[in-house]
Amino acid sequence: MNNTSKQFDVVIIGGGITGSMAARELSRYQLKIALIDKNADIGAETTAANSAIIHAGYDPVPGSLKAQMNVLGNPLWDELSEQLDFAYSRRGDYVVAVGDEELENLEKLHQIGIQNGVPGMQIITADEMRRREPLINPRVSAALWAKTGGVCDPFGANIAAAENAVMNGVQVYRDTKFTGFLMEGTRITGISTNQGDFKCRWVINAAGVYADEVMHAAGVHPEFKITARRGEYFILDRAGCSMDQVLFPVPTDAGKGIVVTASVHGNVIVGPNANLIDDKEDKAITRPGMDEIWSGAQKLVPSIKKSDIIALFSGMRAHGNAPTPGGVVDYQHDFMIEIAPGVEGLINLAGIESPGLTAAPAIALRVVELLKDAGEKLLENPAFNPIRKNRPRFRHLSHAQQKTLIEENPLYGRVVCRCEMVTEGEIVAEIHSPIPATTYDGIKRRTWLGTGRCLGGFDMPKVVDILARELGVSPFEITKKGAGSEYLTCYTKDGVCHDKTE
């Protein structure tokens, strides 16, 4: 692909939830927009690996951008999930104090919530908490109930926002890595990538843990540094551990602590811990990390069993402004949402760690304000359509609906993933969707296939075949998550490896 002739008004670097929500919001206006991502799929980094909680907003420091964006973002999720058709549930959440010594900090958190303007909070008694969640640690002393807390499918929200942006004219370029800025003096005129140049008037830097490196390429905030803060998790089998609640411990200076939360897919997720990591790509799962999470989980729900763990994962927080040698600027670990100083044409959305998922829709609205403040005459796109429908999910349909679907398309009668009941019809629909799934992980994140007890052991060969057939390529080209993660290397005959061309 050669993009040298490509001309846009806005190029967004990063197709996570921050970039995708911004793309959708900007598609309300008459702007030519490109959304680029270095990976084979969008939403495959931090947005795909977090606690999936729509935070109420009692946690961030009052007055911080995190607090403002959290409290503004939270109420936007109901309408968003209706318009964009992704999994979401406003089920409320609890911060659970265990032992009398935690009661003082619980009340402090309640007061922070009041200062931040969080509606619908209440301290409930230990008896009430035990009634609402019988699995809770019997030593519970009280809990903070926040009725505006929720859970969502973060990748589902990410892909839905990006697909809606595409429906409204945004162009998505995957496998497209930002490598530098095109500049005339201090004015940014575009970016260079491994796929050629993109000319534009505005660049939005939503590059997650790499947002510092992107701004440094324009000479902006050389003292600002993002350090990845890794969080590790367990996922528990639905059959073994059934719970509907979102349970936080009372936070400490080290962070929000180990959460036990029910996901929108019905599994319980346990984690995360928080460790600063030098290598932004080091998503290792560690033995000490697992032990830490285990003891954190037991504090809230002592009956959790190790035999119910079916998967492990980790995600990277974009922790802004870790101390730099000689660095004196204090960003207070807050979000950076700004028109970049010293250059023209750059908006930074950086340090977007938790509650960045919750805040993303509010950050997108702030981007529109920033552009207006900079004198952009944003004319409404008269063709903007806020509605995006998801493809059918076989397991969520009634028998009558399943029968009709199979009659219309027999591929829906072929179950490929037995644990999660995902059919060939669903896989094919995702391969031909507005942002086509082209990898195994792309199919997995869109359909939830391969997330049950067998972890894809049964479905993977079949998915590779279907991807190759539908994309019209050799099975050797099918990857887990992009170049370098191919599944197949050669044909075997008689236990011997033969060249692909034989």
Ligand X SMILES: Cc1cc2nc3c(=O)[nH]c(=O)nc-3n(C[C@H](O)[C@H](O)[C@H](O)COP(=O)(O)OP(=O)(O)OC[C@H]3O[C@@H](n4cnc5c(N)ncnc54)[C@H](O)[C@@H]3O)c2cc1C
190 touching ligand X, by CB under 6 A: no
Of 37 and 163, nearer to ligand X (C-beta) is 37
113 touching ligand X, by CB under 6 A: no
Dihedral class, residue 487 (left if φ above 0, else alpha if ψ from -120 to 50, else beta): alpha
Q: Could you tell me if 37 and 47 are in contact, meaning their C-beta atoms sit under 8 angstroms apart?
A: no
Binding mask 345-374 for ligand X (x = CB under 6 A): -------xxxxxxx----------------
Of 351 and 425, nearer to ligand X (C-beta) is 351
Residue numbers 146-185 binding ligand X by CB under 6 A: 177-178
Q: Which of 39, 137, 205, 348 binds ligand X (CB under 6 A)?
A: 39
Binding mask 317-346 for ligand X (x = CB under 6 A): x-----------------------------
Burial of 381 (0-12, 13-18, 19+ CB in 10 A): middle
- 285's CB contacts (< 8 A; 6+ apart) are 232, 312, 313, 314
CA nearest neighbour of 55 among 43, 40, 72, 41? 72
Residue numbers 227-266 binding ligand X by CB under 6 A: 231
Q: Which of 3, 8, 15, 426 binds ligand X (CB under 6 A)?
A: 15
Phi, psi of 293 (to 5 degrees): -65, -40
CA nearest neighbour of 330 among 141, 64, 40? 64
Q: Which of 208, 296, 345, 450 binds ligand X (CB under 6 A)?
A: 208
DSSP string, 421-468: TEEHHHHHHHHTSSS---SHHHHHHHH-TT-STTTTTTTHHHHHHHHH
Of 103 and 365, nearer to ligand X (C-beta) is 365
Active site (annotated) includes residue 55: yes
Residues forming a β-bridge with 10: 33, 202
Number of residues assigned to the chain: 502
By rule CB under 6 A, what count of residues binds ligand X?
A: 38
Binding mask 260-299 for ligand X (x = CB under 6 A): ------------x---------------------------
CA nearest neighbour of 313 among 236, 227, 207, 427? 236
Q: Which of 17, 80, 166, 264 binds ligand X (CB under 6 A)?
A: 17
16 touching ligand X, by CB under 6 A: yes
Nearest residue (beta carbon) to ligand X: 356
Smallest separation (angstroms) from ligand X to the CB of 486: 20
Per annotation, catalytic residue among 55, 110, 221, 319: 55
Of 11 and 98, nearer to ligand X (C-beta) is 11
Instruction: Return the range that interacts with ligand X (CB under 6 A); candidates 45-53, 100-108, 321-329, 398-406.
Output: 45-53
Q: For residue 450, what are its two tokens?
A: 């391969």
Q: Could you tell me if 141 and 103 are in contact, meaning their C-beta atoms sit under 8 angstroms apart?
A: yes
Neighbours of 341 (CB within 10 A): 9
Instruction: Return the range that interacts with ligand X (CB under 6 A); candidates 42-50, 94-102, 245-253, 295-303.
Output: 42-50
- 400's CB contacts (< 8 A; 6+ apart) are none
Q: Which of 38, 221, 238, 319 binds ligand X (CB under 6 A)?
A: 38
Q: Which of 47, 148, 168, 438 binds ligand X (CB under 6 A)?
A: 47
Of 231 and 289, nearer to ligand X (C-beta) is 231
Q: Which of 11, 12, 24, 55 binds ligand X (CB under 6 A)?
A: 55
Of 53 and 126, nearer to ligand X (C-beta) is 53
Of 93 and 459, nearer to ligand X (C-beta) is 93
DSSP string, 322-377: ---TT-----TT--EEEEPTTSBSEEEEE---TTHHHHHHHHHHHHHHHHHHTT--
CA angle 55/61/254 to nearest 5° reads: 80
Distance CA 73, CA 66 (A): 10
Q: Which of 33, 34, 53, 159 binds ligand X (CB under 6 A)?
A: 53
Smallest separation (angstroms) from ligand X to the CB of 469: 28
Of 210 and 412, nearer to ligand X (C-beta) is 210
Smallest separation (angstroms) from ligand X to the CB of 332: 16
DSSP string, 231-294: EEEEEE-TTT-----EEEEPPBTTBS--EEEE-TTS-EEEE---EEESSTT-----HHHHHHHH
**Residue positions annotated with a catalytic role:** 55
The footprint of ligand X (CB under 6 A) covers 13-19, 36-39, 44-47, 50-53, 55, 177-178, 206-208, 210, 231, 272, 315-317, 352-358
